[in-house]
Chains A and B, each alone.
Chain A
Amino acid sequence: MQGYDNYLAEAQRQKLSSLYNTVSPYFKNILLLPGQKVFFICSDQHLSVDIPAALEQKNISTAYISGFFYGNLTPERIEYLNRRIDPSTPVNIDTSPHLMRLMFSQWFAKFQTSPLVFFLVLVVLAILYLRRVSKEEYVLFSTGCLAMGCEILVIFAFQIYFGYIYLQIGIIITVFLAGLLPGAWLGNKLNQPGRQVLILTDGILICLLALFMLAIVSFADRLAVSFYLLFGFAVSLACGFQFPVALYLKGADNAAAARTFSADLIGAACGTLFTSVVLIPYAGILWAAAALIGLKLTSLILMGTSRWNED
């Protein structure tokens, strides 16, 4: 893992501690060797700090390793690093990538900046916007948010469990777009759809996400690639389906079309940012999915209660 030269800064310490705590239940002995790269040596056998001496015992020439080792890996440096490991740092697991959050912190520390102001501005703008939207627009806002959130979730989960997202990112994004057209076509086919259609699709989206959570918990890396692709297609199908229905309920003139489309896009932008920068690093994949379900529940409740009121 990336190391340090002469001072172990807090963000780096937390990263090393998280990894240390992650592997420590599985090995009796863990030795960390400091340097520009920190090496984790884990074994149930006894671990010796003096690697050149161990190599010498096996008659392996150590001319270079000794020179490097005795200059950089002094007993004080090794002791300093191992002493500064924090046992209370959360572990890094597939569904809760704690290291990612720490890497964000380190990046912000490096550039002496913070995302806080940006997010505050974003939250204020989002609140101002949401105060002005209609219920149908809010449904599309939350759907856009959920759809992009799901896409980010799938991308992260895929990378975590398969490790080769570069080879599949094109098809994942494609399936998240591919369902929009048939969804919209089906939505258009409905004769005078009511609000209950929006409520139903909201319910379907919630069920899809709940299914995704269940699958991750139950099968994790045993899930087939096709599951992620089918999930993406189903989510986008529901999103595409909701759009013409909401538009029909809003009146289907140019202004209504512009407002509903905007709501969808603004929701998508918020969903992407919020899921990738806040939800996944700080809450993990499962809780990020739960938060998206929570968001969709608000839309479902809003539509459900407004129908009761109007009736």
Chain B
Amino acid sequence: MIKITRRRFLYCSAAFLGTTLPNLTQWPPAGTTFHAAVTKDIGGRVLKGDAPKKVGKWSHEGFLYKKLEDQKVICEICPNLCLLAPGDRSVCRSKVNLDGKLYSLAYGNPCSVNTDPIEKKPLFHFKPRIKAFSLATTGCNFRCLNCQNWEISQAKPHEVPYTYELYPENVIKAAQKSRAESIAYTYSEPITFFEYMIDIARLARQAEIFNIWVSNGYINPKPLLALCEVLDAATINLKAFDDDIYRALNGGRLQPVLDTLQALHAQRIHFEIINLVVPGYTDDDEMVKRMCGWILEKIGPDYPLHFLRFFPRYKLDRLPPTPVSKLSRYRELAMQQGIHYAYVGNVARHSGNNTYCHRCKKLLIERRGYFIPTYNLKGSHCRFCDTQIPGVWNKA
């Protein structure tokens, strides 16, 4: 048998422990925030020289941009403020600079068109049971790792082969034909097809069709105010209440989204906030408390807040779904802090799907999937205690 001296034993032990001990700092696995979640910025970059050679069938001049020297332009729709030289493509992949002019590339060319229940947006306090004619073109100004529509949001218009030709006037006709009382700009990120959206919205307003904006809220104030003139309701995705997580998970920044919420509040547009609880990124109790505190202080308790269950998607397809108990706790926490209407989404048959009067606590709207078997509102008031319920409701 080979003998080992004490000195050798110590050397070998030191060598072994030296390689394994550093790992003990991560043991036991603790905390809820992944290290990766607070260290990287995954934001998109301008794509140099990636624009098509000439203006295409679905190109439309940009709504808001600044012309600079050397035929450069700055797109002023969203806080990315893409500085584009001729031939460059924007971060959202939908805008290009062609000979010193900014063009949107997907005007009249949606890639996804469906008629959905309004509850699917989700909008729980806006005209329950109506249908939303929903459409999207390609593109997004974020790079969310968990995007559920990444095939269209992270693609350039020409990379998506199956699309529709639907100019604004035809969208109105199609919505009317499908008996939808509203049009929802959704699925990908409507900010990237702003020109198309606002032209449809103006026509929809004339045709007495509601306009619904489902967005990440990453937009500059000027285009937002222009949109608010024709907007009826919005769903804003407040993805986290932490700028580092916004950069690591979504490739965006927090403050512009908060500014959007405040602007919508000031413009008296009905909106609902959604917060997707992503395990390891946004399932932090303290962050939820801070978020609720900000909502109460800046925009008040009446805007519904939806805590949505995460399911493995896109690049985060190895994470587990959010535990339902956590979503229930956040809903309780939000309501304890003073938010009047907090919901749990993406969980079937959960009491957090229903609306309860914030004063008498009685069941106002029962939801089973997108089906509403119980409806206890009289106009906009609770049938039991006559309290006015915030939102835009069907007439009594």
Interface residues, chain A, CB within 8 Å of chain B? 4-10, 12, 36, 63-72, 74, 76-77, 84, 109-112
Contact = CB atoms under 8 A, between A and B. Distances in A.
B351 to A, nearest CB: 14
B187 A6 contact: yes
Contacts of B112: 6-7
A69 B368 CA distance: 11
Contact of B151 (A9, A64, A67, A69): A9
B151 A70 contact: no
A10 B112 CA distance: 14
Given A4-B151, A110-B150, A110-B315, A63 B368 contact: yes
B114 A77 contact: yes
A74 B115 contact: yes
B139 interface: no
Nearest 3 CB-CB pairings of A with B: A67-B369, A67-B371, A71-B370
A64 B114 contact: no
A301 B89 CA distance: 54
Given A64-B348, A76-B115, A7 B152 contact: yes
Interface in B181-197: 187
Contact of B315 (A72, A76, A111): A111
Nearest to B138: A7
B376 interface: no
A6 B114 contact: yes
- Say whether chain A's binding surface is mostly helix, strand, loop, or mixed: helix
Contact of B371 (A10, A36, A70, A74): A70
A10 B136 CA distance: 17
Nearest to B155: A9
Contacts of A66: 368-369, 371
Contacts of A84: 162
B309 to A, nearest CB: 12
Nearest to A66: B371
Interface residues of B, number: 32
A64 B187 contact: no
A62 to B, nearest CB: 9
B85 interface: no
A76 B150 CA distance: 22
Contacts of B162: 7-8, 84
Interface stretch (B116-124, B215-223, B230-238, B262-270): B116-124
A224 B117 CA distance: 54
A71 B117 contact: yes
Interface centre among A5, A63, A69, A110, by most B CB within 10 Å? Answer: A5
B338 to A, nearest CB: 30
A5 B349 contact: no
A69 B369 CA distance: 8
Interface centre among B119, B367, B370, by most A CB within 10 Å? Answer: B370
Contacts of A63: 368, 371, 373
A77 B134 CA distance: 12
A68 B369 CA distance: 5
B140 to A, nearest CB: 13
A74 B148 contact: no
B141 interface: no
Interface string B18-56: 000000000000000000000000000000000000000
A310 B116 CA distance: 79
Given A10-B161, A74-B114, 7 more contacts: A7-B187, A63-B373, A67-B368, A67-B371, A70-B117, A72-B370, A84-B162
A71 B116 contact: yes
A84 B112 CA distance: 13
B303 to A, nearest CB: 23
Contacts of B148: 5
B102 interface: no
B149 interface: yes
A72 B369 CA distance: 9
B154 interface: yes
A68 B152 CA distance: 24
B114 A76 contact: yes
Contact of B370 (A6, A36, A70, A112): A70
A85 to B, nearest CB: 12
Interface string B131-159: 00010100000000000111110100000
